[in-house]
Structure 1
Amino acid sequence: MDYIDYYKILGIDKSASDSDIKKAYRKLARKYHPDLNPNDKAAELKFKQINEANEVLSNPEHRKKYDKFGKDWKHADDIERAQREQSSRQRQGYQDFSGGGQYSESDFSDFFESMFGGQGGSGFRQGRGNVQFKGQDFNAELQLNLSDVYEKHAQVLTVNGKKIRLTIPAGIENEQVIKIPGKGSPGINGGPNGDLYIKFNIVNNTKFKRYGHNLHADVDLDLYTALLGGEIMVDTFAGKVKLKVAPETQNETKVKLKGKGFPVYKKENQFGDFIITYHIKTPTKLTEKEKDLFKELQKLR
């Protein structure tokens, strides 16, 4: 994982106070907020970097670890534990237990060497597999259309140059994060691989509104059908359906079509509801005869 300079991202130096961090974050967050930069991918990335930097530097414990270990700050506890073991073994006059065999610096990752201050060939030597660490987790984002996640489908992602085939379940929510075990960075000294976390950004490319598992739609209804009742055809996500309209239907009446909504995540054959709101349209450009008829109706009422 590349080193990310959180101080540089916020435009502050390492001596910045908590107040300085807060002011810098608020200023930049306002500047790059997605609401003020619609469809600007560069601003969106910058906004995420700003939030990540603030989450680390505004937390005193995280900041302390970051200042000491840089990009490996999340492994701070493991590193310090290994350093304590190193110190203890050095005091006990520890020797290689492999029968005099020596390991070169190339036998260790940069991360492992950084734990011991880059001591390399002198001082403490650690046999392979003696201290293991889980690999770094990877984070990725995937943008899909709402119509893409109505059904389960397979997709191939390229993460750090590696192709990963995954099946995306129907019903994924916007900003939902899923974990793919073992697809992160390789482990250290035989430790387990890190995991891959994928965040989904779902773009609604339909005329329907999604709220959880339910879909909502506005349907225009002519005055005469609203008054007298009848049948209309309504678009749903799965296609058109015929719907009966009750006589004397009022404006803003809501009708629920059970099970015609969006798939429930990882629940086979379970769907939310489809909720229709009627909007009654008043006729315009009336003929003289139509006006006379409405006047007659007005007198009757």
Structure 2
Amino acid sequence: MAFLDYYKVLGIDKSASPEDIKKAFRKLARKYHPDINPNDEEAKKKFQEINEANEVLTDTEKRKKYDQYGEHWKHGDAYEQNQQQGRQSRSSNASNPFEGFDFNYTGNYDTGEYSDFFEQMFGSRFSGSKRSSRGAGYRGQDYETTVELTLHQASQTHPQTFTVNGKNIRITIPAGVEDGQKIRLKGQGAEGSSGGPKGDLYIQFSIKPDPHFHRVGNDLYTKLTIDLPTAMLGGDAIVSSLTGKINIKIKPDTAHGTKVRIKGKGFPIYKKEGEFGDLYAEIQIKLPNNLTEKQKKLIQELAETLK
């Protein structure tokens, strides 16, 4: 997988504040959302990259490791653990720098091609060795799977069981996951060999299109049909949300296509309990039809007074 510069993906500087990151994410999410760009594979790919960048940069610990280790940030914990163990055992184990360290090898043992990260940690002088006499073995293969959700399912924290390579996996899916978002389950991949660690399982969420709502970031958009008198004079209307019906006020002289914002009634924000986006109801005005002669005459009289 190619390295993504998360700051570049969101179009922000490394000094960006959490609020800057949030604003950049929302702006780009609206632009590249699959509902706005149907059948556009490039937009879908861009949207997934935006989600990935946002997930890392809005997490304080992940962002810290990303800023420190760059493309190898996911190995930061292992590197720091190795550094600590190395300091503790250097005097008794100076001849074996691999002792007690479990690393994710990305090179080719047969050709001696080791990853840049490996060389940064141990130095290129070890690159000719196939593996140490007391090496950590071979890491198991990573698995990838897709879990399909409805919009309503994605809006609720819930347990879900699925099968990967004949093994049942049960996870709790947090409310607010995005279409295309990936999570990692450490150690749920293939078994390692020669005492090596298991691989990981990567789960990508695919959210089905909903007939009543479309999602842009944490906001939801729906359509609300009202009659002509309500649009002209104002009144009450009922709009549907993911959690039920909501009574709203329609202002007089509301035009067709006007968007009414219902604050806090949108999609739950991922891993932020009790926080929600907004719901936008786009007004659709239903014109009367099959008018009687008397009704037509009244409308004509009204039209004359408006000239």
Per the normalisation by structure 1, the TM-score is: 0.59
Query: Which structure's CA Rg is the greater one?
Result: 1
Match of 1:80 among 103, 111, 115: 111
CA RMSD in angstroms, aligned pairs only:
2.7
Structure 2: 5+ residue runs without aligned partners? 1-37, 41-104, 115-124
1:132 aligns with 2:163: no
Q: CA deviation at 1:76?
A: 3.6
User: In structure 1, what is the Cα distance between the partners aligned to 2:181 and 2:256?
Assistant: 36
Aligned to 1:173: 178
Q: Say if 1:233 and 1:240, in contact at 8 Å, map to a contact too.
A: yes
Aligned to 2:191: 186
Aligned to 1:199: 204
Aligned to 2:227: 222
Structure 1: 5+ residue runs without aligned partners? 1-33, 37-73, 89-114, 117-125
Aligned to 2:4: none
Q: CA deviation at 1:85?
A: 7.7
Deviations 1:47-99 (A, max 9, x none): xxxxxxxxxxxxxxxxxxxxxxxxxxx844344349998987xxxxxxxxxxx
Aligned to 1:63: none
1:79/1:172 Cα in 2 relative to 1: closer, same or farther (>3 Å)?
farther
User: In structure 1, what is the Cα distance between the partners aligned to 2:228 and 2:127?
Assistant: 84
Q: CA deviation at 1:160?
A: 1.3
Q: Say if 1:149 and 1:170, in contact at 8 Å, map to a contact too.
A: yes
Per the normalisation by structure 2, the TM-score is: 0.58
Deviations 1:182-202 (A, max 9, x none): 101122322221110011111
Q: CA deviation at 1:170?
A: 0.8
Deviations 1:115-135 (A, max 9, x none): 89xxxxxxxxx86x5342321
Aligned to 2:34: none
Q: Say if 1:82 and 1:131, in contact at 8 Å, map to a contact too.
A: no
User: In structure 2, what is the Cα distance between the partners aligned to 1:192 and 1:284?
Assistant: 71
Equivalent AA in structure 2 for residue 80 of structure 1: T
Once the two structures are superposed, the pairs formed by residues 94-133 of structure 1 within 5 Å of their partners are: 129-133=134-138
Q: CA deviation at 1:204?
A: 2.1
Aligned to 1:247: 252
User: In structure 2, what is the Cα distance between the partners aligned to 1:248 and 1:295?
Assistant: 19
Q: Say if 2:107 and 2:113, in contact at 8 Å, map to a contact too.
A: no
Match of 1:288 among 288, 293, 302: 293
Q: CA deviation at 1:289?
A: 0.9
Report the secondary structure of 1:165's partner residue: strand
User: In structure 2, what is the Cα distance between the partners aligned to 1:250 and 1:87?
Assistant: 73
Aligned to 1:155: 160
1:238 aligns with 2:243: yes
Q: Say if 2:179 and 2:206, in contact at 8 Å, map to a contact too.
A: yes
Equivalent AA in structure 1 for residue 241 of structure 2: T
1:82/1:281 Cα in 2 relative to 1: closer, same or farther (>3 Å)?
closer
User: In structure 2, what is the Cα distance between the partners aligned to 1:216 and 1:292?
Assistant: 38
User: In structure 2, what is the Cα distance between the partners aligned to 1:297 and 1:255?
Assistant: 28
1:86/1:172 Cα in 2 relative to 1: closer, same or farther (>3 Å)?
closer
Deviations 1:6-62 (A, max 9, x none): xxxxxxxxxxxxxxxxxxxxxxxxxxxx959xxxxxxxxxxxxxxxxxxxxxxxxxx
Report the secondary structure of 2:139's partner residue: coil
Aligned to 2:26: none
User: In structure 2, what is the Cα distance between the partners aligned to 1:181 and 1:239?
Assistant: 38
Number of positions where the alignment pairs a residue of Structure 1 with one of Structure 2: 195
Equivalent AA in structure 2 for residue 157 of structure 1: F
Q: Say if 2:112 and 2:128, in contact at 8 Å, map to a contact too.
A: no
Report the secondary structure of 1:298's partner residue: helix
User: In structure 2, what is the Cα distance between the partners aligned to 1:268 and 1:190?
Assistant: 40
